[in-house]
Chains A and B, each alone.
Chain A
Amino acid sequence: MLSRVADAFYWTGRYLERAEHTARLVDVNTYLSLDSTPESSGRHWHRVFDSLQVTMADGGTSDVVALVHQLALDRGNKDSIASGIHAARENLRQIREQISVDLWERINRLYWTVRRTAEDASWQDQPHQFLRGVIEDCHQFIGLTTATMNRGEGYYFLELGRFLERAITYSALLDSHVRAFPDLRSGEVAPELVAEWTALLRSCTALEAYTRRFTARMDARRIADFLLLDPEFPRSIRFAVEQVEAALRGITRLSGRENAGRPERLAGRLRASLHYAQLDELVDDSLQMFLTGISGQCGEIHAATYRTFIGYHLDAALV
């Protein structure tokens, strides 16, 4: 596969994952702020921006509509949902002939929905409807790829992008959360914090899965354990890293590239550290360092993938 085509699939995966994550995060926090005082609402939004590594416009306003706009529709913010979907569509447009008509129509529809929404202020009354639509379209896109795409390099680059982005965004989200609420003792969290931990679970579509496993009792340590290390929950960081490794295994096999084992090895190392990690030890030691480490290693996997398959040094490759 042409490196340029692989690159386009990879970034499509990353941009769409980020758009979906941002949509869910904004959705959850918009409703959380309805139940909270202006001060605590302000703190929420600071955490949201912090976890997305986006700087608040105007040095932090308390106007929720403006904040939501910045994250959702502001094309000046390269990390907004609108920018992400635009970028994903541009990537797919460059490789239009590689994807099915259905897949193209899906992303196109999403793109036009976002553009129309941005032109009309009526979304401000019901941001939920718009955000929900984005999430659903992203799900349909993923569903189509799973159901209809050949398990070729394109598919695996898409998967790699998607799960690498998820591992990065979820560790950043968890990191900013435990920095704000560092008390991870076992047992139920203080009543005033229940809403915060529930929102965290919701932001990862984990509330129902968690409740079914551990009942509705909000236990900070269990929640952190569940989001980080759970082997079955498909949105845990461990699960994402396993998918990253599987995608890289597929790419290495299909590309036929020699000496291409490094990205997969890095992913395997990270996966092993998550397999054998124990939250109790991490809490005693430093969970934050562990989470920062995950982001760092994801960055290395990205760089190694690029050096091996996409942006490799030509002279070296020709020797």
Chain B
Amino acid sequence: MLRPPTSQTAASLFGDYELDASFDEMFKPGHVPRDSYRLLFDRLLELPASEWRQRQQAADRAFLNQGVTFTVYGNDEGTERIFPYDILPRIISGAEWSVVERGLAQRLLALNLFLKDIYHEGRILAEGIVPRELVYSCPHYRREMCGVRIRRDTYVSVAGTDLVRVEDGGFAVLEDNLRVPSGVSYMLANRQVMKRVFPGLFSRYRVRPIDHYGQQLLGTLRALAPRPNDPTIVVLTPGVHNSAYFEHTYLARQMGVELVEGRDLFVHDNVVYMRTTGGPRRVDVIYRRVDDDFLDPLAFRRDSQLGVAGLFNAYRAGNVSLANAVGTGVADDKAVYAYVPQMIKFYLQQDAILPNIETFLLHDETHRQHVLENLERLVVKAVGESGGYGMLIGPHSTQAERAEFRDRIVANPRNYIAQPTLALSRVPCLFDDGVQGRHVDLRPYVLFSGTATCVPGGLTRVALRRGSLVVNSSQGGGSKDTWVLE
């Protein structure tokens, strides 16, 4: 086949593409493309640069028109922005994915067993495998949940587990998000846009579909219904000012259920209803995108305007199910995270398929000593924070920042953990002057209903700033479509 005259050489297109200790998902050492990236690599050389730019613009337009935006906090009216997006897909082979899939299923099963255990008999605590004080001192531990039987013992129905690829290319778990993980709408929207922008490449790659996520989520929620016949399922949002409001509306639409706010719901005789023009309608399952603290002003924070008075009692009475359950945050505490491999061993008598990242617990004196002496090489995280906040990245920190964290750690060691600075894997991204590698992580979305299922792929978040390791959208991160191959 004749190459078009405008096609580019590998030298000009990839001239700026660095390879170092991080695992590069596209290239083996010496800029040799890996098998799964071969087709994309060829395509990159085939298409003229102007064509790539045009497709990037088409993708951006599609996001804006669909209203795929997130809200940036900090001014009165709230600013809507599109999530920065890179059009080169991230490719994961079928073999690699099957390890991830089994690993996530195993992990979520163990985490659900752990939650049931600590809110009932507490065997794992009695046997000293997870320290009792670690669980009881966690701010997300809910004493109110002790002894509460919940439907099908499903505590975590929806999880978003953050994975990274370490130096040898293997996947490892960075953190579990077991409360209200977000981002799945971007995964779905990314795919829709990519199918439109790269139909040819997409079909040649035989990418496993993800479009059925909405139906699967609905099925997961239906399984929790106290009344199995024609249950009413709703998505509970904090409202239009929430940064993930777009996602809440998107999921409600995908599932064909109502999107409600706290003020639409009320409780009568321990039964939850929503106020409709046709009269009160009983609600069976609430996919809540509101944190525990704000769910019910009678049970939790009294100043909450987002919740429903009496909801917790209705929940305890078994008349309504919540996904996720109340009190799951204790299992994604970053210090409790360190014990997940032991949980898997304890409940399932198996070794963890997906390893953890080495984690130093700062309430342990030897660990603390080591961390305080090596702050400039480690990453320190507050155990209850997410979104890239409350974090010290040692190698990129100043003397003053390290001093500040040292004081904070000494004042409240339970509140922090430390991990080595990771060399996150890199994938190719398209820029005006060619293709360059950028660091990424991966958040697959796992649904649990007795067993775990996981749509193949997830949200790949990418640190678009050169050299940056922070992938959060609030801090210069973007996203990519993730293709899992047959």
Contact = CB atoms under 8 A, between A and B. Distances in A.
A147 interface: no
Given A93-B240, A97-B252, A97-B259, A310 B277 contact: yes
B186 interface: no
A314 B266 contact: yes
Interface string A276-295: 00000000000000000000
B264 A4 contact: yes
A31 interface: no
Nearest to A252: B277
21 contacts: A1-B276, A2-B258, A2-B276, A3-B264, A3-B275, A4-B261, A4-B263, A93-B240, A94-B239, A96-B249, A97-B259, A101-B65, A251-B277, A255-B277, A257-B277, A257-B279, A309-B277, A312-B279, A314-B266, A315-B268, A317-B280
Nearest to A1: B277
A97 B249 contact: yes
Given A96-B249, A97-B252, A4 B240 contact: no
Contacts of B178: none
A153 B277 CA distance: 9
Contacts of B264: 2-4
Determine the interface band of chain A, counting residues with CB < 8 A from chain B.
20 to 34
B132 interface: no
B273 interface: yes
A6 B249 contact: no
Interface in A85-100: 93-94, 96-97
B199 interface: no
Interface of B: 65, 67, 239-240, 249, 252-253, 258-261, 263-264, 266, 268, 273-280
Nearest to B239: A94
A121 interface: no
A2 B279 contact: no
The 6 closest A-B pairs by CB, nearest first: A97-B249, A255-B277, A309-B277, A256-B278, A3-B275, A255-B278
Contacts of B239: 94
Contacts of A6: 277
A44 B357 CA distance: 78
Contact of B275 (A2, A96, A153): A2
Contacts of B253: 97
Given A3-B264, A153-B277, A255-B276, 19 more contacts: A1-B276, A2-B264, A2-B275, A2-B276, A3-B277, A4-B263, A6-B277, A96-B249, A97-B253, A97-B259, A101-B65, A101-B67, A256-B278, A257-B278, A258-B279, A310-B277, A314-B266, A314-B275, A318-B280
Q: Most chain-A Cβ atoms within 10 A of its Cβ — which of B239, B253, B263, B278? A: B278
A318 B280 CA distance: 7
